[in-house]
DNA sequence: ATTGAAAATTGGAGCGCTCCAAACTATATT
DNA sequence: AATATAGTTTGGAGCGCTCCAATTTTCAAT
């Protein structure tokens, strides 16, 4: 493979001149320029080796999106959340004429991708381990964390989880609900999961703050938002039955939903952490012949496409996914100092919520365990 | 930013040893290994600089997908064809623990992306310019061309365009059609387009081979497939009215479809080069109160999701898009010598095709111009 | 012709790393 | 104790390029 030097020799000029021909053609005399170009063509030389140029301090001209989990790349094109998020990032890349690298840490030591990605900056999905932040910082490249705020000097893009949750709970409160239940999810850290086992855990109402096994900032904020709204009608979040689910997937959500409905049958309004969970509660209710929204109101979170298509369509909190992607990418391209972006969310009311039945009439045979 | 050498100095060993600690830890004594690791941590050293390592001959551990056109990155997440294609490529990347870089030549000299992409290999979308092949070859990286066969020593993945077209035409033949029309598209080369203008061109039936302005291999093959099937009932492709459309987008297809229906009103079966065109003919027919399939049968190509959703659903040739992506990626990862892959296609019969009306009864007022 | 400034060209230094042949050390064998 | 063997560690070379201070060439003005 021809090198800069070979072309220089062939054209009878120095390396520096050939470099200039390719990088700043205007500084070399047209005649020389032509000679160099001819020599380059003759040798099949396509211009400076991108790899060497990069090493010398150049830019990759691409940003990376780093994700975790098996088959992550495929998922990103397949599930609606990932697709929208990436579409947002991609649109900003388009505007800047930059590329977009998708990388997962698949089958490698956790931080491998962070340490080895070749890009000018990167977007980190919700991180589970503070060591990742440390690795990212050591990498010396600009980066943005999504859905989390991992520290004061780190850029992040989040949605207003607390406000979204507050809106959702307030909606139920306004409809007249007073007996709530919540499904949440614990941080998907494999080590914790292994220790804990795969079953959801039911937390009965308590006087004091219940200790949840492990919760991430996003869930904490949403819990806080639920608490805000419930407090306005004198309901303490600690008195609300709560199920902690071990994973983000549907089967886990389903078993959590079943547990919740069985353990807290007097519930009239369920607040969740995702549409997956909301849909799971919907399904569990169907299996138990609990009518939604007549007997039970359910609110999701995220506004996945499925939320609009299920029966009944799910009331949920819509987040601006594309805009989230755009904001993250913009920070990478334009941002100098760390930025914090918090995007607004909006409650989308559909048919899975309604006023509760008149209190006292427990016609559908559901027992009251907590009052 | 700490370098290998700094760590070496701090740990009292040589560069080579530190390099080994990070690349082949098993060859260095546990005691030394620990000392080096400690020194690295103290200096915030995360391991060898990926850029330098790459320069030294390492792998990026990612392949690239190079596409053309404005807003191309965004499109890829947005349109169904791109999404499936990329999902296919991505799934193979997952299997190999590799990343996937999406790059477009947006706003740059045409071959910029090919010359500068940082990856271990790349996939080229249907190319318009042989110079791109030349540039790709000079790049010295493995690459695969999609939907085209640009030469004997270059890997490519195509579908069996000729057979697909043959199936489509044969389907119409079997239904009893004898009066056909075809819509095709010319290669979207900006220079040709500028010279040619944006209007579709109608080619009347002819004795000899008509000279089309510019056609790419894919369209040539499909035309040949149509010819194969028509020949079996004694119809020469040259006697079939044909409209040449200037671009792949819907408005262009629409004006081409209008031209075709107006110029060749006796047609009972339309063969196209894409679902976009098939849908356009459907729309143009609707505007003219031509009933599909009663008065006119239409066959698309590609089997986009829209093809199943329109009214009536479009009969079309389905191509295995995900598998196309997978095949391309596989060649990059596993292939040694150049490979040619031709994927089978399958006719999907829906409701846009039916036997022609009994010949002679021209009730819907359409004039006969060619017989 | 001579001068001086501007324009064009040169080539050494060095980016951070991995490779590898050579040197050294620890341990086993005679 | 001497030698062999395997196990470790070392440091020079060089990957291809861009930067930039120094040098050479060009050219307008005297």
Which of B99, B115, B138 has the CB atom closest to A102's CB atom? Answer: B99
> Distance, angstroms, CA A8 to C1' D30?
38
Q: Is the pLDDT of residue B188 over 60?
A: no
Using an 8 Å CB-CB cutoff, list chain B residues near A101.
Answer: 62, 99-102
Q: How would you write chain A as a 3-class SS string?
A: CCCHHHHHHHHCCCHHHHHHHHHCHHHCCHHHHHHHHHHHHHHCCCCCCHHHHHHCCCCCCEEEEEECCCCHHHHHHHCHHHHHHHHHHHHHHHHHCCEEEEEECCCCCCCHHHHHCCCCCEEECCCCCHHHHHHHHHHCCCEEEECCCCCCCCEEEEECHHHHHHHHHHHHHHHCCCCEEEEEECCCCHHHHHHHCCCCEEECCCCCCCCCCCCCHHHHHHHHHHHHHHHCCCCCHHHCCEEEECCCCHHHHHHHHHHHHHHCCCCCEEECCCHHHHHHHHHHHHHCCCCCCCCCEEECCECCHHHHHCCCCCEEEECCHHHHHHHHHHHHHHCCCCCEEEECCEEECCCCCCCCCCCCCCCCCCCCCCC
| pTM recorded for the entire structure | 0.85
**Within the 22-81 window of chain B, which residues sit less than 8 Å (CB to CB) from chain A?**
44-47, 50-52, 54-55, 60-62, 64, 70-74, 76-78
Q: Which token pair is A368?
A: 């009251």
The pLDDT > 90 percentage for chain B reads 73
Asked whether the beta carbons of residue B46 and residue A139 sit closer than 8 angstroms, the reply is yes
Contact residues for strand D with beta carbon within 7 Å: A 1, 3-5, 15-16, 19, 22-23, 48-49, 52-53, 55-58; B 12-17, 20, 27-29, 32, 55-56
Å from B291 to nearest chain A CA?
32
Asked whether the beta carbons of residue A101 and residue B99 sit closer than 8 angstroms, the reply is yes
> Distance, angstroms, CA B339 to C1' C19?
33
> Distance, angstroms, CA B2 to C1' D8?
25
Q: Is the pLDDT of residue B174 over 50?
A: yes
Highest-confidence segment of A335-339, B202-206, B264-268: B264-268
Which of B44, B83, B97 has the CB atom closest to A107's CB atom? Answer: B97
Q: Which token pair is B52?
A: 């330098």
> Distance, angstroms, CA B137 to C1' C21?
36
Q: Is the pLDDT of residue A233 over 70?
A: yes
As a residue count, chain B comes to 371
- Using pLDDT thresholds of 50, 70 and 90, give the confidence band for residue B218: confident
What is the three-class DSSP state of B214? coil
pLDDT digits (tens, 9 = 90+) for A86-145: 999 999 999 999 999 999 986 667 789 999 999 999 999 888 778 889 999 999 999 999
Q: Is the pLDDT of residue B81 over 90?
A: no
Q: Where are the alpha helices (DSSP H) in B56-120?
A: 72-78, 80-96, 112-116
User: What 8-state DSSP symbol labels residue B25?
Assistant: G
- Using pLDDT thresholds of 50, 70 and 90, give the confidence band for residue A364: very low
- Using pLDDT thresholds of 50, 70 and 90, give the confidence band for residue B365: very low
Q: Is B368 on the interface with A (CB under 8 A)?
A: no
Lowest mean pLDDT among A110-114, B111-115, B295-299: A110-114
CB atoms within 10 A of CB A271: 32
With beta carbons less than 8 A apart as the criterion, state whether B132 and B112 touch: no
Minimum CA–C1' distance nucleotide for B56: D15
Using an 8 Å CB-CB cutoff, list chain A residues near B122.
Answer: none
Using an 8 Å CB-CB cutoff, list chain B residues near A64.
Answer: 99
What is the three-class DSSP state of B343? strand
Lowest mean pLDDT among A82-86, A362-366, B282-286: A362-366
Nearest-CA residue of chain B relative to A98? B103
Q: What is the mean pLDDT of chain B?
A: 90
Selected residue with higher pLDDT from B176 and A211: B176
Q: What is the mean pLDDT of chain A?
A: 90
CA distance B110 to B135: 10
Q: What is the pLDDT of residue B271?
A: 98
Q: Is the pLDDT of residue B364 over 60?
A: no
Å from A32 to nearest chain B CA?
22
Minimum CA–C1' distance nucleotide for A16: C10
Q: Is the pLDDT of residue B369 over 70?
A: no
Q: Which residues contact B56 (CB under 8 A, 6 or more apart)?
A: none
Using an 8 Å CB-CB cutoff, list chain A residues near B62.
Answer: 101, 103, 118
Q: What is the pLDDT of residue A195?
A: 74
Nearest-CA residue of chain A relative to B1? A140
Q: Is the pLDDT of residue A13 over 80?
A: yes
Minimum CA–C1' distance nucleotide for A3: D16
Phi then psi dihedrals of residue A360, to 5 deg: 100, -40
Q: How many CA atoms lie within 13 A of B46 on its CB side?
A: 22
CA distance B84 to B89: 9
Q: What is the mean pLDDT of residues B163-178?
A: 98
CA distance B318 to B326: 17
Asked whether the beta carbons of residue A51 and residue B47 sit closer than 8 angstroms, the reply is no
Q: What is the pLDDT of residue A192?
A: 65
């Amino acid at each position: 493979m021809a090198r800069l030097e070979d072309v220089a020799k062939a054209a009878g000029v120095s390396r520096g001149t050939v470099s200039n021909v390719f990088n700043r053609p205007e500084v070399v005399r047209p005649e020389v320029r032509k000679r160099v170009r001819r020599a380059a063509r003759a040798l099949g030389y396509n211009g400076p080796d991108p790899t060497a140029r990069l090493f010398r301090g150049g830019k990759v001209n691409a940003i990376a999106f780093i994700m975790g989990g098996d088959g992550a790349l495929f998922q990103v094109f397949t599930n609606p959340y990932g697709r929208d998020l990436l579409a947002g990032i991609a649109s900003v890349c388009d505007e800047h004429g930059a590329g977009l690298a998708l990388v997962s840490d698949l089958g490698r030591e956790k931080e491998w991708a962070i340490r080895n990605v070749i890009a000018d900056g990167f977007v980190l999905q919700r991180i589970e381990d503070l060591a990742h932040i440390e690795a990212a910082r050591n990498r010396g490249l600009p980066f943005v964390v999504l859905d989390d705020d991992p520290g004061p000097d780190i850029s992040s893009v989040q949605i207003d989880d607390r406000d979204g949750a507050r809106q959702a709970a307030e909606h139920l409160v306004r409809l007249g609900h007073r007996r709530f239940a919540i499904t949440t999810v614990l941080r998907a850290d494999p080590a914790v999961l292994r220790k804990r086992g795969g079953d959801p855990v039911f937390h009965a109402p308590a006087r004091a703050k219940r200790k949840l096994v492990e919760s991430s900032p996003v869930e904490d904020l949403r819990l806080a938002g639920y608490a805000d709204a419930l407090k306005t009608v004198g309901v303490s979040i600690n008195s609300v039955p709560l199920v902690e689910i071990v994973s983000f997937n549907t089967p886990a959500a389903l078993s959590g939903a079943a547990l919740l409905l069985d353990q807290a049958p007097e519930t009239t309004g369920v607040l969740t952490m995702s549409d997956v969970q909301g849909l799971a509660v919907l399904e569990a209710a169907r299996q138990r012949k609990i009518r939604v929204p007549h007997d039970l109101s359910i609110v999701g979170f995220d506004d996945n496409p499925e939320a609009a298509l299920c029966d009944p369509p799910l009331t949920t909190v819509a987040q601006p996914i594309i805009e989230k992607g755009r904001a993250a990418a913009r920070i990478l391209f334009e941002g100098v100092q760390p930025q914090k972006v918090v995007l607004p969310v909006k409650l989308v009311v559909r048919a899975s919520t309604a006023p509760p039945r008149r209190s006292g009439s427990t016609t559908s045979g559901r027992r009251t365990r907590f009052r």
